[in-house]
Each structure stands twice: as structure tokens, then as C-alpha cells.
């Protein structure tokens, strides 16, 4: 494999803009990161709550099928027939306990076993169905959140998550017993790193809504953990005060428990962002489509113990507040596009806010510091094998 | 009240076109004026994929008149100047309708919406789908939207949405 090279600036707070746009780097990123030794969240098991439920998607091109069998066991498969690799299931979600490939009528059960194929006498001598189950990537569950990796060298998921695991558990209502409310899916005209660099973190200055609603940010912390620089935010929930320009104030009401740490964000390398804000529980499954495009599936959840009133409230709040059309986040989406366009200019993006010493990396930050992204960039640099310029 | 079939069709199409015109003109107050005054007047924009799996969550979920009025505030005041603006053109075509009672009708219409971002000038399809409308008919023969569900075939949007579909 031809290796793309890029000289990295000596200061930790500088990122070459070329990293966002070079197509030759993109091919290398897919190999080293998306098909390499990283864990990628692809679904929460509550998206397939009943026996026979399944979900399909593609992660960096790789087609995946997640199914729940009759005994309630969730498994991840490659969504490709074990014979000639014809795409097995075409529906995005549904309920089936058997999957039949229409090409040569190979039939698989929800455990991935090949249970039927016509005319096996005409196959290779010694053909045995037991040798042809559906292929599987490695996968692990964390409070119902399903992760896959395509490398045998990836460390255990718990190690990968590190301290972020605890924040992620809290974000998923503390126990991961979620109930799916639905999806908002969108493609952004942005490299995956431009999306990732600006989704978890973004400047409150951007949000005109905060100012108009007299909505001050709560006190909180931002920390990074593991060598990958996963970023976690934990902050007190603040509720808009003063006269509101909104006629339906329920949009920004908090009806849940524990406002002391009512707002959480967990951002995992390379692309996953999740947030719990007010009564919204939102897991964002993102995948690169090409060097210029990132597809994000915003999945929203309630808790299984919610009463009808709370369920309704979460539905009303989730639909209108945080997604690609949400009151306080629509303009984030615009930033992903504009960062991508602006990165087609020479030089480096220079991070400022929260950077005290550009020759050092830190792991504790103030809530609105942009420097929380820097440990992740350092990991990206190292996994891509780029040399840092001498001091 | 609208008693002739022709009169009903005319009222429905006048409303359908008035809404397309308001949206493409970015006239949010004009958009709101197409909705009935009742508190339960509603607008939903949602991927059909969600609907088919009994998932109520949408891109926009304005289930009462107050939320419709708030959407005018989002676009005209809160979001002003924060996004890359784009032009839209809605193409709408009523495909089915029926009268429920003297003051209520329902209609299904196809829509396709083209989008042209102001910065690139390159036109693409923003969304395709169906409007499922419930309409209030006035004695004067006008129709207003009591409920509109914009059900999108486009389950993956090519862009964030600022304006309703």
C-alpha cells in the first residue's frame, strides 16, 4: 500500500488543513482507522427490541446486518451471502428469522447458520453447509450499545472506552434500557474529521438561540481519556430563564431527574458522538461516504420505564431541538459544510481557546475550550504515521 | 361550505399552491396563514421509513399551533444569518382527496423539492415524498390545513433543513 505522507506542525494546537481534504489520505484512513484497530458503535440493541428484529447499514463501505434471534441473542454479521457475497438483506430494518439470498437461494437463520442450499451435489466434493455460515466481524456490547471492529488486534472494548465508559453509561440513562423513538438521517458535505471536530465541541457563541432564550450554559467539565483522545463533557443542566420568545416552552423544559449533571456528551474516536441534553438521549452513528461526505444517523431514545407523558415529551423535544433541523443545532450542520469549504486553503487550522502551552497536551478542559480536540488529533497523527516537525 | 366537487378541488389546489409559493418565497408568515387557527393545527416532516416502523420521531414535529408560530420565529429571528441560504422550488400535485364531513376534507399530494444553495448555485433534489393533509373548509369555500404530514421518501436528507418542506 502506498502510504500518504503529511508533515505535521510542531505545535499540538495546529492541524494541517490538508488533513481534511486530501483524497489520498482518505484511502489510507479507511484502511488504518475504519478497517483498522478501532471500535465503531453501529446500533443500540433497543433498535431491534423483539426476536427476529434486524437492522442493516454500511460502515465505511462494509455492509453489516445486526439481528436478534428467537432466543434474544444479538449478533452482527457481514450483510453478504457466504457463497458469492451477494448483498443478503436489502431492508434497512424489519423482522425475519431467516435470510434468503435470491441469487442461488442459500438460506441462513438468525444465528448465521447456512440451513439450506439447493442442489449441493453439484458443489465442490465434500461441500459441508457447516463451513459456510455468514461471516462475522468482532463485536461487543456495552449497555446495549453494539460496537464492531474489523481487526483482530483491537484491544478489548472496555480498554478502548476507558473512563469514557462511565460517562457513556450515564448518558444512556444509567442502565442502557432504552426505547427507540426514531431516526433523523442526513449527509453532510464535510470530511468525517470536519464533522467530528465540530459536532461534539462547538462554540456556544454560534448558538443565537442561547442568547435569545436567555439560556446560560451550566457549569461543567470537559475531559479527554485514553490515547485516542475520546472527549467527554459533563455539565449541570441549565434551563432558560427570563422571557422566552417561544410560545411552546416545553421544547426546552427539563422533566427528568438529576439536573446536577443533566447534560453529557461522549465523543469516541473516530466518528461517534452521543449526547444527553434536557430529556433527549441521542446516539449519532456516522460513517464516511467519501473524502467530502459524511452520513450521520441520529437515533433518539426514551427509557423503557418512561410513562406515556414522558415518552411524549421526549418525542416532542427530540424531534425539534438537536438534529439537522433542530432549534439549537441546525447551524452546527452549516459549520460542518463551511469548515470543509474553508479547509481548501493553505496552512494550518490553529486552535486557540483553552490552549495554554502549544507544546503540551492536556486532559482536563473547561467546558467551552476547543483544545479538548487536540489529544484526538495527536492520536490521528500517530495512527496515520505522520511525522511531527521538529521544535 | 364547499358543496360541489369542482369547488372542493379548486379550494384544495389553491391551498396547495399557496403553501408552495409561501415556502419558495421564504414567507414564513404566509406559510403560517395556510394553517387553521385551531390549537391542534399541526405540521410534521418525517421520513416515511420512520412512519412505516411506527416510529413517530420526525425532522420537524409541530403538533400544535404554538409550535407552528415558533417555527416562524426560528426561521425569521433565531436562525437569521447563521446558515448557508438556499432557494427551493416545490412541485406539488394532488393525487387523491375525499370529503370527510361538511367542514373537513383530506387530500394526498406528491411533492418534489429542488434546492439551489446560494453559494454553489448547483441545483439538486432536496426531498421527495407525499403530503397527507387534513383540511378545514370554511363557509366561504376556502381550505386551511388542520394537519399536514410531509412524509419523505428521502430518508437520508442531502442537507440540514432550515425551511419546512
Distance CA A79, CA A136 (A): 9
Tell me if chain B has a CB within 8 Å of the CB of A263. Answer: no
ipTM of this predicted structure: 0.96
User: Residues in chain B, how many?
Assistant: 165
Position A347 scores a pLDDT of 96
**Cell representation of residue A113:** 447458520
pLDDT of residue A201: 66
**CATH code for the domain in which residue B122 is found:** 3.10.450.50
Sheet holding B60-62, edge to edge: B60-62, B42-47, B143-152, B124-137, B104-117, B86-101
In a domain, B55, yes or no: yes
- Stretch B30-56: mean pLDDT, rounded? 98
Cα dist from A252 to A239, A248, A279, A316, A367, whole Å: 7, 9, 9, 10, 20
3-class SS at A21?
helix
Q: What pLDDT score does A28 carry? A: 95
**Residue B157 within any structural domain of the chain:** no
**What is residue A204's predicted lDDT score, i.e. its pLDDT?**
59
Is there a domain that residue B94 lies in? yes
Show the domain range for B45. 5-152
In a domain, B69, yes or no: yes
User: What is the spatial order of strands in the sheet that A114-116 belongs to?
Assistant: A98-100, A107-109, A114-116
Contact at 8 Å (CB) between B107 and B5? no
- Name the interface residues of B facing A (CB cutoff 8 Å): 45-47, 49-50, 53, 55-64, 66-67, 69-70, 73-74, 77-84, 119, 155-162
Is residue B165 domain-resident?
no
- How far is the C-alpha of A7 from the C-alpha of B99, rounded, in Å? 69
Which residue in this structure is represented by grid cell 387523491?
Answer: B96
pLDDT of B152 > 70? The answer is yes
- Closest CB from A187, A246, A300 relative to B156: A187
Q: Is the pLDDT of residue B55 over 60?
A: yes
A338 contacts in chain B (CB < 8 Å): 84
The pLDDT-based confidence of B2 (bands split at 50, 70, 90) is low
List, for chain A, all residue ranges whose pLDDT scores fall below the cut of 70.
1-2, 201-209, 211-218, 240-243, 258-260
3-state secondary structure A298-359: EEEEEECCCCHHHHHHHHHHHHHHCCCCCCCCHHHHHHHHHHHHHCCCCCEEECCCCCCCCC
Question: What is the set of domains in chain A, with CATH numbers?
Answer: 14-37+162-384 (3.90.380.10), 41-142 (2.102.10.10)
Q: Which pLDDT score, from 0 to 100, does residue A119 have? A: 93
User: A95: which chain B residues are within 8 Å (Cβ-Cβ)?
Assistant: none
End-to-end Cα spacing for chain A: 30
pLDDT for A310 equals 96
Q: According to the model, what pLDDT value does residue A305 have?
A: 95
Residue A334 has a pLDDT of: 85
Q: What is the pLDDT of residue A175?
A: 95
Looking at residue A198, what is its pLDDT? 86
Chain B residue with Cα closest to A320: B60
Q: Please indicate, yes or no, if residue B70 is contained in any of the structural domains.
A: yes
B160/A333 Cβ within 8 A: yes
Amino acid at each position: 500500500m502506498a502510504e500518504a505522507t503529511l508533515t505535521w506542525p510542531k505545535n499540538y494546537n495546529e492541524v494541517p488543513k490538508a488533513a481534511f481534504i486530501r483524497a489520498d489520505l482518505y484511502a489510507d484512513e479507511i484502511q488504518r482507522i475504519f478497517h483498522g484497530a478501532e471500535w465503531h458503535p453501529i446500533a443500540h440493541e433497543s433498535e431491534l427490541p423483539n426476536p427476529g428484529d434486524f437492522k442493516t447499514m454500511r460502515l465505511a463501505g462494509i455492509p453489516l446486518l445486526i439481528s436478534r434471534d428467537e432466543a434474544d441473542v444479538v449478533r452482527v454479521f457481514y450483510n453478504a451471502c457466504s457463497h458469492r457475497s451477494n448483498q443478503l438483506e436489502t431492508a434497512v430494518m424489519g423482522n425475519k428469522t431467516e435470510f434468503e439470498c435470491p441469487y442461488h437461494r442459500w438460506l441462513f437463520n438468525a444465528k448465521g447458520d447456512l440451513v439450506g442450499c439447493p442442489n449441493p451435489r453439484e458443489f465442490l466434493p465434500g461441500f459441508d453447509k457447516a463451513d459456510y455460515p455468514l461471516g462475522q466481524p468482532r463485536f461487543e456490547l456495552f449497555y446495549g450499545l453494539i460496537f464492531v471492529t474489523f481487526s483482530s488486534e483491537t484491544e478489548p472494548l472496555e480498554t478502548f472506552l476507558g473512563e469514557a465508559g462511565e460517562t457513556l453509561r450515564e448518558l444512556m440513562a444509567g442502565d442502557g434500557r432504552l426505547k427507540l423513538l426514531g431516526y433523523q438521517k442526513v449527509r453532510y458535505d464535510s470530511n468525517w474529521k470536519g464533522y467530528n471536530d465540530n459536532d461534539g465541541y462547538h462554540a456556544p457563541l454560534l448558538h443565537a438561540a442561547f442568547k435569545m432564550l436567555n439560556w446560560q450554559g451550566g457549569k461543567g467539565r470537559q475531559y479527554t481519556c485514553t490515547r485516542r483522545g475520546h472527549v467527554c463533557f459533563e455539565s449541570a443542566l441549565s434551563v432558560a430563564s427570563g422571557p422566552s420568545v417561544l410560545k411552546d416552552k416545553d421544547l426546552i423544559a427539563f422533566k427528568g431527574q438529576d439536573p446536577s449533571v443533566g447534560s453529557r456528551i461522549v465523543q469516541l474516536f473516530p466518528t461517534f458522538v452521543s449526547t444527553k441534553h434536557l430529556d433527549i438521549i441521542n446516539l449519532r452513528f456516522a460513517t464516511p461516504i467519501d473524502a467530502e461526505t459524511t452520513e450521520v444517523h441520529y437515533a433518539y431514545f426514551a427509557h423503557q420505564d418512561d410513562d406515556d407523558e414522558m415518552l411524549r415529551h421526549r418525542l416532542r423535544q427530540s424531534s425539534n431541538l438537536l438534529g439537522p433541523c433542530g432549534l439549537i443545532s441546525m447551524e452546527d450542520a452549516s459549520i460542518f459544510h463551511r469548515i470543509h469549504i474553508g479547509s481548501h486553503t493553505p496552512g494550518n487550522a490553529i486552535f486557540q481557546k483553552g490552549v495554554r502551552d502549544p507544546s503540551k497536551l492536556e486532559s482536563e478542559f473547561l467546558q467551552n475550550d476547543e483544545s479538548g480536540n487536540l489529544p484526538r488529533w495527536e492520536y490521528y497523527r500517530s495512527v496515520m504515521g505522520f511525522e511531527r516537525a521538529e521544535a | 361550505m364547499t358543496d360541489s366537487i369542482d369547488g372542493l378541488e379548486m379550494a384544495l389546489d389553491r391551498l396547495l399552491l399557496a403553501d408552495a409559493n409561501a415556502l419558495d418565497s421564504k414567507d414564513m408568515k404566509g406559510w403560517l396563514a395556510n394553517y387553521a387557527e385551531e390549537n391542534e393545527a399541526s405540521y410534521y416532516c418525517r421520513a416515511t421509513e420512520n412512519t412505516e416502523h411506527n416510529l413517530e420521531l420526525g425532522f420537524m414535529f409541530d403538533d400544535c399551533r404554538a409550535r407552528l408560530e415558533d417555527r416562524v420565529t426560528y426561521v425569521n429571528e433565531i436562525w437569521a444569518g447563521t446558515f448557508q441560504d438556499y432557494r427551493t422550488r416545490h412541485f406539488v400535485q394532488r393525487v387523491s382527496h375525499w370529503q370527510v364531513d361538511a367542514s373537513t376534507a383530506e387530500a394526498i399530494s406528491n411533492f418534489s423539492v429542488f434546492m439551489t444553495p446560494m453559494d454553489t448555485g448547483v441545483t439538486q433534489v432536496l426531498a421527495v415524498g407525499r403530503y397527507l393533509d387534513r383540511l378545514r373548509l370554511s363557509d366561504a369555500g376556502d381550505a386551511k390545513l388542520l394537519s399536514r404530514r410531509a412524509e419523505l421518501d428521502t430518508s437520508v436528507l442531502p442537507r440540514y433543513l432550515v425551511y419546512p418542506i
